[in-house]
Structures are given as structure tokens and as C-alpha cells.
Amino acid sequence: MALESSFHSDAALTTPIVSLASKQLEDDSSSPAYPNPADRVAYFGLANAAKKVEALSNPGVDQIQINIVSNVVGWSAGATIALSDIVQPSTPNGYKYQAQGAGTTHATVEPTWPTVIGETVDDNGITWECIDEIHAASEFRLATSQAGLDAATPGAAINVGTTINGGTGVSVWMRIDQGVHPAGDPYADVRLETNDLVESVI
């Protein structure tokens, strides 16, 4: 059964988040439209006030953890690729690559990936273009308050409690320290993730 708990854009937990946009200037500078660092907030919980969510490992005892992880898949041999799919090398090199056509990756040999944006490489008939540097999870700080971001460890998970009752949203603040994308160029390199959870009636 699918869990009801998820990330939302509002504390009332009425609007689930599909994506959370953040844009920064390429040169790492700051402006009113594109502040650096860029802080964002989401809320985790479930709207159903009759239920609670806890860690599956030891409900009510172990912490509910929220982490930020890579959302870009690594290259793999013999994989089916669609036009515009994005991958990173199986051993990450700090860049991501977009398929300029559909096909199947090589059965055994991974391409030698270029590290100049705009350059391409062939992979069993698929042309991969180096499209950008990639945001790594280590470039993000998480905290339960905006003030807590200053002391947060980049890339580290946060604990948000052993039990979250329904109807209560826990704040999850995020800070993006590194601006590698031009203004106006959205990215989806990372996602928020929890440990395994279980929901029950209060």
C-alpha cells in the first residue's frame, strides 16, 4: 500500500511537490532575482490527522531521516535509451550527458566521456552530448530551520523526529551552495528521500 506521507510546498500539506525550482547565476554571484546561497523550504508529513508516520526499522524509536540523493542515473551496459534521456558516467565525473537519439547502450564498453560542455561521444549508435556540470548531493545543506542551515553539513541527512502525527508538516530547509547553471536553466539532479517508513492509525 502506498504511503500518504510525502513532501509538500505548504505547511498545511495540501500541495504535494513534484519539483522544487531553484536558479542561480553561473558566476556564483548574487542578485535579488537569483540569490546565492539559495534557500528553499518544503514540508514533510501526511494530511490525514488520524494517522502517524514512523521509521519502519523500529517505529516510534528510530529517527525519521531525510536525505538528498542523486536523481541522475548512472550509465549501464545494454540499457534501452530514449531521446533526451540523461545519464552520468558509472563513475561520476561531475558532468551529465543527454541522449540525442534513441537506442541501446554498448553491451560491454562504456564511452570515454568528454568533459567540455557541448562535446559529444558515440555509444553504440547513441550520441551523448555533455550538457552541463551536475549538482551533487554534497552541494546541498539540509536543516529543520533556515537558521540551522549555516551549521549544517553539506550532503548530510537530517533527523526530523521519531513520530510525525498527521496534519503536522515538518519543515525541511535546503540550501544550494554551488551555482553551476545559467539563470533560467532548471535542473533535476537531486531529490529528497526518506528512510523506509510505516504509517498507522493514532
SS3 of 124, please?
coil
C-alpha distances out from residue 82 to 57, 103, 105, Å: 37, 7, 11
Find, among 115, 122, 85, the residue nearest to 102 by Cα: 85
Question: What does the pLDDT read at residue 55?
Answer: 98
pTM for the predicted model, two decimal places: 0.76
Peptide bond into 32 cis (omega under 30): no
Question: What does the pLDDT read at residue 111?
Answer: 97
SS3 of 137, please?
helix
Find, among 158, 150, 157, 143, the residue nearest to 177 by Cα: 150
- Full pLDDT tens readout for the chain, 202 residues: 578 999 999 999 999 987 666 565 555 566 666 666 678 899 999 999 999 999 999 999 999 999 988 889 999 999 999 999 999 999 999 899 999 999 999 999 999 999 999 999 999 999 999 998 887 788 889 999 999 999 999 999 999 999 999 999 999 999 876 554 544 455 577 889 999 999 999 9
Burial class of residue 76 in the structure, from the number of CB atoms within 10 Å of its CB (0-12 exposed, 13-18 middle, 19+ buried): exposed
Query: What pLDDT, in 10s, does the model give residues 107-154?
Result: 999 999 999 999 999 999 999 999 988 877 888 899 999 999 999 999
Amino acid at 64: I
Dist CA 48 CA 71 (whole Å) = 29
